[in-house]
């Protein structure tokens, strides 16, 4: 069976999938952007579990429960802060997506939704970020056959258009 990879324009906290990904920071403490929205929707138990994880390095990902979210799990990924593009940002961003899918597969998660990691507060340009995201997800999925569905969840129609365009291009 082939995996479904698609982009949508939505609030990720409303999605009924096995796991949603959080665009977190290295401390894993609640922040703004999608992180703030996820913590608000999940409730205070989420921050309590995050505090026990001892942080997370940029490019890596850690799993918690989803608490009051429709999603059963949250995978907290730490994207790079954009510093102009010559500081391994693309390697670190690709690593985030790959690590989330590896953590998902290791925990029996078959359906997962990603926000556009690093493209808000961390300032990563959307077109570069979307390309790194799609390339990394496609490469990782080849090695992780248990993942059935990957949703790239955009928050703005303009970001959605960028993802749609890239997904439509020949692989
Ligand atoms: N659903 C889907 N996407 C969303 C939502 C939502 N409810 N809200 C925002 N976005 P950002 P970063 C999009 O800033 O750049 C936090 O403080 C948003 O439009 O959330 O990785 C963390 O704790 C953008 O496209 O994450 C870190 O300190 C994307 O989510 C820092 O921000 C990511 O924007 C991480 O910054």
pLDDT in tens, 45-83: 999 999 999 999 999 999 999 999 999 999 999 999 999
Ligand 1 contact via 118 beta carbon (within 6 Å)? yes
User: For tokens 């080849």, what's the residue?
Assistant: 142
Atom 19 of ligand 1 has which residue's CA nearest to it?
Answer: 155
CA of 142 to the centre of ligand 1 (A): 27
Rounded mean pLDDT of 142-146?
A: 97
Ligand 1 contact via 8 beta carbon (within 6 Å)? no
The band of 2, judged by pLDDT with boundaries at 50, 70 and 90, is confident
Q: How many domains does the chain have?
A: 1
Contact 15, 113 (CB under 8 A): yes
pLDDT at 171 over 90: no
Contact 20, 113 (CB under 8 A): yes
Query: What range defines the domain where residue 146 resides?
Result: 4-169
What pLDDT, in 10s, does the model give residues 21-52?
A: 999 999 999 999 999 999 999 999 999 999 99
- The CATH code of the domain that includes 111 is 3.40.220.10
* Alpha carbon distances (Å) from 154 to 126, 143, 159: 10, 25, 6
CA of 71 to the centre of ligand 1 (A): 18
Mean pLDDT (the chain) is: 97
Quick one: what percent of the chain has pLDDT higher than 90? 97
Question: Model's pTM, two decimal places?
Answer: 0.98
Q: At what angle do helices 89-106 and 126-143 cross, to 10 degrees?
A: 40
Closest-lying ligand 1 atom to the alpha carbon of residue 29: 23
Give, as one character, the DSSP assignment of residue 81: P
User: For tokens 């970020």, what's the residue?
Assistant: 129
Ligand 1 contact via 9 beta carbon (within 6 Å)? no
Ligand 1 contact via 121 beta carbon (within 6 Å)? yes
**Closest alpha carbon to 132 in 67, 57, 82:** 82
Burial 96-119 (b: 16+ CB within 10 A, else e): bbbbbbbbbbeeebebbbbbbbbb
| Residue 64: strand, helix, or coil | strand
């Amino acid at each position: 069976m082939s995996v479904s990879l698609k982009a949508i324009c939505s609030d990720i906290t409303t999605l009924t999938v096995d796991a949603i990904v959080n665009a977190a920071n290295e401390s894993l403490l609640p922040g703004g952007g999608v992180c703030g929205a996820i913590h608000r929707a999940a409730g205070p138990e989420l921050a309590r579990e995050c505090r026990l994880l001892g942080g997370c390095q940029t490019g890596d990902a850690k799993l918690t429960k989803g608490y009051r979210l429709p999603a059963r799990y949250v995978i907290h990924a730490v994207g790079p802060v954009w510093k102009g593009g010559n500081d391994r940002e693309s390697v670190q961003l690709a690593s985030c997506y790959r690590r989330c899918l590896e953590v998902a597969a290791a925990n029996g998660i078959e359906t997962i939704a990603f926000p556009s990691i690093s493209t808000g507060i961390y300032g990563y340009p959307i077109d570069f970020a979307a390309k790194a995201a799609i390339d990394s997800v496609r490469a990782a999925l080849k090695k992780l056959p248990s993942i059935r569905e990957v949703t790239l969840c955009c928050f703005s129609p303009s970001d959605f258009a960028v993802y749609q365009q890239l997904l439509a291009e020949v692989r």
